Amino acid sequence: MKAVHFGAGNIGRGFVGLLLHEAGYEVVFADVNAELIDALAAADSYTVHLVGETEETRVVDGFRAINSATDEAALIAEIATADVVTTAVGPRILRFVAPVIAAGLAARPDDAPRLAVMACENAIGATDLLAAEIADGLPDDAAREAIAAKAVFANTAVDRIVPAQDPASGIDVTVETFSEWVVDRTPFAGGEPAIPGAHFVDDLAPYIERKLFTVNTGHATVAYTGFLQGATTISEAIAIPAVREAAEAALAETSAALTAKHGLDPEELAAYRAKILDRFSNPYLVDEVTRVGREPLRKLGRNERFIGPASDFVQYVGRTPDALLAAVGAALRFDVPDDSQSVELRRILEEADPDEVVTEVMGVAAGEPLFAPLVEMVRAAQV
């Protein structure tokens, strides 16, 4: 069995690549980072260090690596003969990997088993987005039908904290011990790929919303409020009482929305929240608030970790999500010169009208219940 995985970065090597390897796949990493690809190609194996209360190591071997910027023909040939394609490149990058996946699918024999395509990104419907990018790049409906007949696209939710790595550790990667990979089973119609580390479910929506609106909402709240308090790492940030309180309050709102919308059990959600806050405190992971807060414009989007649960809270709980609005206020103050979206956010806040920021950046229209409080948050961040 063979899997082609796009994005040999933190989650690529430390989670998706590891689970595919453990499932018995020969993993072919594809990445545009020449130095990384050369290092992987020159190595026989790399080690994943799982750190926390207990420590373990796992060795990944038998992989190959292809530079997707310079060796497209080889990549197309690999996709044409693969069983699985996964990505962990970031949602904004999916459009750039779509054309080569389309070419690999086109090169597949008509009688080959359908290729399982799963985008492993922190976003709702990331695989749908990838499928749409692939379809948009094709010349006509006939080409779209031909490609659709050769692939199964399944959405996923991936959860493991993999911080930026110490350059001295080369291609080895340090991760937390916890991990969860949930995949929508329905597109496979009974023929899902054999990946023991993945959990196939009939209804992904509650899983991905529970994950994105708890792990990622909580993480981002700790990152943005911690940044304002002068913390450098997430474990430092969450040790500050005001930061922890901000995260607990935001997650109380997301849990209430999840219960009201999906019927999730409040006690189970309370235990899930406690476990997640514990994961953020992991002293063995050096995870910077600037990494977790990266790309604030994306994170302030409509279906993302703040506005998504805030609008569900209004709709399903019927109250104003004050703690989530406060977290949005902190996100609006994220000022990191190395992060191009933070720089762009600062420019937007200087130049744009608050109404425009709420409609354009957050996707909330005038007249929606969240519009006025969000405009106030933007206005306050502009002074």
Ligand X SMILES: NC(=O)C1=CN([C@@H]2O[C@H](COP(=O)(O)OP(=O)(O)OC[C@H]3O[C@@H](n4cnc5c(N)ncnc54)[C@H](O)[C@@H]3O)[C@@H](O)[C@H]2O)C=CC1
Ligand Y SMILES: O=P(O)(O)OC[C@H]1O[C@](O)(CO)[C@@H](O)[C@@H]1O
The answer to whether 160 contacts ligand X (rule: CB under 6 A) is: yes
Which residues, 129 to 158, sit near ligand X by CB under 6 A?
158
Task: Identify which of residues 30 and 124 has a Cβ nearer to ligand X in the complex.
Answer: 30
Q: Is 9 annotated as a binding residue?
A: yes
| 8 has binding-site annotation | yes
318 is in an annotated binding site: no
DSSP 197: T
CA distance linking residue 176 with residue 335, whole number of Å: 27
Is residue 285 part of the contact set for ligand Y (CB under 6 A)? no
112 burial type by CB count under 10 A (0-12 exposed, 13-18 middle, 19+ buried):
middle
Question: Is 293 marked as a binding-site residue?
Answer: no
Nearer to ligand X, 88 or 238 (CB): 88
Q: Is 161 in the site for ligand X (CB under 6 A)?
A: yes
User: For residue 93, what is the DSSP state?
Assistant: G
Q: Within 137-166, which residues bind ligand Y (CB under 6 A)? A: 159, 161
- Residue 76 known to bind ligand: no
Closest distance of CB 152 from ligand X, Å: 21
The set of residues, in sequence order, having a beta carbon less than 8 Å from that of 139 and lying 6+ positions away, is none
Pairing of strands 56-61, 45-51: antiparallel
# of chain residues touching ligand Y (CB under 6 A): 9
Token pair for 174: 């340090």
> SS3 for 199?
strand
Instruction: Give which of 181, 175, 159 is closest to 282, Cα–Cα.
Output: 175
Binding mask 60-89 toward ligand X (x if CB under 6 A, else -) reads: --------x-------------------xx
Q: Which residue is nearest to ligand X (CB)?
A: 9
Where does this chain touch ligand X (CB under 6 A) — which range of 27-35, 48-56, 140-148, 177-185? 27-35
Which among 287, 292, 283, 277 is positioned nearest to 245, based on CA atoms?
277
Specify the residue, 25 or 224, whose C-beta has the smaller distance to ligand Y.
224
Helix or strand (DSSP H, E) at 119: strand 115-119
By the criterion CB under 6 A, which residues form the site for ligand Y? 122, 159, 161, 215-216, 219, 292, 294-295
